[in-house]
Copies of this chain bind each other. A is one copy, B any other.
Amino acid sequence: MNPTQRIEQTLSAALSGTELPGGPPRLAAAVRRAVFPGGARVRPRLCVAVALACGDSDPGLSNAAAASIELLHCASLVHDDLPCFDDAATRRGLPTVHVEFGERLAILAGDALIVLAFQVLGAANPAQAARLPTVLGLIARGVGQPHGIVAGQAWECEPQLSLRDYQRAKTGALFSAATMAGAAAAGAPCEPWCALGEWLGEAYQVADDIRDVLADPALLGKPTGRDQALGRPSAAATHGLLGAVEHFHSLIQNAADAVPDCRGDRQLRALVRAESERLVPAAWCDQLARNAA
């Protein structure tokens, strides 16, 4: 199985396990909507790619880690889309969970997804039991307080915002959790993999800002122009569009340079470059340069 199949199958099995008789059916439908159809599955693909680069000696655990991270990402999207945060109407080309199922089920679906993320880890049955608490700890750190994605979202509620802390927590934390958990699931030391996740997280944040200005809403599956409308900090606003694109490419270069020596380092660098092209296509950059000339 390729990484995408591994991830989709693990997510699918996780959801099926919660859809047993006797549960509330609309909650089950809301949870399913939050996970399928999926987005780009960037974080779980990164997790599996790092595990493979490190030998992937326990695929059951790396699959569980990848699915756990994606479930937590989906939970954060459902809660971030709520009326009291971004008040978003569409996501992945469909109505958001609260628009379709109501605010109460959106809150509960997010809660259920967080629980499921850890349940999937607990059920991974690793060959070496000591790897489980390490992987769990890395993932929890990427999500919780004080530096995970929940903390990142909470910076939006502070009277004074540290932009660096905000962006590192809101995006970078789950990317570095993905790289480090992938390594730990394969029994490799996780610290050398932190920088790759951090650079990619920062690059992804800048790409998101660029795409919010440039991309076709139909392509993104969500409205564009939201950063400006909500007055959110944005690399495109700070650096100008061309400056933001240059900044993005330097972050991608840093990410590629941060891949530690390992048996799969070449494939990983190729993945980083492919993500770069997927996020900010060269054709956009050419067009921007022509417009500027």
Contact = CB atoms under 8 A, between A and B. Distances in A.
- Specify the main secondary structure of chain A where it touches its partner: helix
Contact of A26 (B23, B75, B104, B154): B154
Nearest to A128: B129
A82 interface: yes
A82 B31 CA distance: 20
Interface stretch (A117-125, A240-248, A261-269): A117-125
Contacts of A111: 75, 79, 110-111, 114, 150
Interface stretch (A5-13, A130-138, A228-236): A130-138
A147 interface: yes
B23 A151 contact: yes
Given A18-B145, A107-B84, A148-B115, A27 B154 contact: yes
A112 B157 CA distance: 15
Given A24-B154, A105-B157, A157-B104, A118 B116 contact: no
A82 B18 CA distance: 25
A143 B108 CA distance: 11
Contact of A165 (B22, B119, B122, B124): B22
Contacts of A101: 157
A140 interface: yes
Nearest to A72: B115
Interface string A83-118: 011000000000000000111110110111011101
A153 interface: yes
B125 A133 contact: yes
Contacts of A115: 114, 140, 143-145, 148, 150
B151 A137 contact: no
Given A84-B103, A146-B20, A26 B158 contact: yes
A156 interface: yes
A26 to B, nearest CB: 6
Interface of A: 18-28, 31, 75, 79, 82, 84-85, 101-105, 107-108, 110-112, 114-116, 118-119, 121-125, 129-130, 132-133, 136-137, 140-141, 143-148, 150-151, 153-158, 165, 169
Please list the 3 inter-chain residue pairs (A to B) with the smallest Cβ-Cβ separation, ordered nearest first.
A23-B146, A129-B129, A122-B136
